Amino acid sequence: MDKVLVIAVFSFFTICLADSDRTFPETFSFGAATAAFQIEGAWNENGKGENIWDHFVHTNQSRVIDGSNADIACNSYHKYAEDVALAAKMGLTHYRFSISWSRLLPNGFISPANIIAISYYQDLIRELEKYKIEPVVTIYHWDLPQMLQELGGWENAKIVDYFVDYADLVFASFPSVKHWVTFNEPKQVCRSGYGKGNMAPGIARSGIADYMCTYHVIKAHAAAYHKYQESYKSLGGKITMALDGIWSIPYWDNEEDQQASERKLNFEFGLYAHPIFFGDWPQVVKDRVNYRSKMENYPESRLPQFTVEEMEYINRTADYVAFNFYNTKLIKDIDEASFDTTSFDNDLRVKEDVDPRWTIAYDGNTIYPQGLRYYLKWIAENYNSPEIIITENGIADNDTSVEDNERISYLSGYLNAVLDSIYEDKVNVTGYTMWSLLDNFEWTSGYSMRFGFYSVDFKDDSRPRTAKKSVDYYSQIIKNRKIPE
């Protein structure tokens, strides 16, 4: 048998190819990210409607590991000015946040719009601009209005029109925003929400509903992109989707595992990137789903096919790559699964593993900074060297301590990997965004995982924030544009 691929392993405290003389370019932007459902709270205040995560959590508390909910969360709806001041104190040059669809449009439809909600986000953006912090705004971060889900959600073809109406309102209401993200991690929206069913709305029809969701998300993104170009191009904004992926390393140094690793990259990142950069699904994805569908006795592929007109419409509808990165895995090719079952995993046909020498974070993600570097290089090589902004990267812990030395080591390792990417690989990386500004409601993990630069006391009704040690460390990097030795 072929020998195991030798990997350069970086422990938790290792700095990757550190060079004290390397600095980040003057135009490089440093930020932190949040999402509306995870920090805002005020779940039913001032006219906000119910969204799928409100419904998912309220109808079954056991879906969240600690039985909690996001009804109050960080209370950022009422404390946004304080949060922006904290971001400014750190020296952030951009702040990524999302807009709640069900806050702006309580029923999901264009009428009636919630004027109070529009004013809230306008105030937030003005507060950021007061401190010269660039807003990077996500239009959809997983919180679909519940009423739209009752009409089929992302399986319903009409969702494309509903989303464009919503995006149009957002573009018109917040004209100063220059960096737009239509969808955050559509892979999670579709695969977890409509395939596995472990996240809202909890639909488990893998290999069918998740592909239909993906098809409609791509079309909705493209329609929003064209709406901006047609009506708001003079505002000078850029639009993309934030895509996530796991860096995939062949378990064995053989052709089968090399193909399996590449297949995984295409089934996860490529499934969303290929349509908006090239106008169609990756060929390997089409081939695999076609083959499995035929063998499972489906009359046609379970993967919806784009028409020629749709291909032209979705092609080149991304102005930059927004990339979320948390994890690296070893990938093995495996035998074909039985044709009696239909699933995304059967279409993909790989097995994940980890190198026992890697450090594993509290949330199960591996800590391997060079995985980020290799992924950035893969994106550059496969998508014509686009501008790339890292829109999420971070480490979880379960500790309320502000002495977050592990986060500091994580930052050092991953930011050195970014420098490697810029200087060694010549990848056009223009920004880095840490998840997250605040400890927050981490979906089905509730408050059991903490990613923030600032600790939040969720037992105190006033939700006080306390700076962690990593705040000063990140601030020094931003100020000096280099990583401390």
Of 392, 406, 424, 485, the catalytic one is 392
Contacts of 57 (CB under 8 A, 6+ apart): 63, 64, 69, 70, 200
Verify cis geometry, omega within 30 degrees of 0, for the bond prior to 173. no
CA atoms within a 13 Å half-sphere pointing along the CA-CB vector of 91: 14
Contacts of 335 (CB under 8 A, 6+ apart): none
Let me know: does 48 contact 103? Beta carbons within 8 Å. yes
Q: Does residue 406 carry a catalytic annotation?
A: no
Quick count: other Cβ atoms within 10 Å of Cβ 418? Answer: 24
Q: What are the tokens at 211? A: 């592909």
Helix (H) or strand (E) holding 90: helix 76-90
Instruction: Quote the strand ranges of 120-237, DSSP E.
Output: 134-140, 179-184
Helix 405-423 and helix 469-480, axial crossing angle in degrees, nearest 10: 20
d(CA 402, CA 167): 38
Residue 291: which of 282, 302, 280, 281 has the closest Cα?
302
Q: Which of 329, 222, 332 is nearest to 274 (CA)?
A: 222
Strands 321-333, 388-392: pairing is parallel
Positive or negative CA dihedral for 377, 383, 384, 386?
negative
Token pair 């378990």 is found at 251
d(CA 148, CA 300): 28
CA distance 270 to 473: 35
Neighbours of 341 (CB within 10 A): 12
> Which residues participate in catalysis according to the annotation?
392
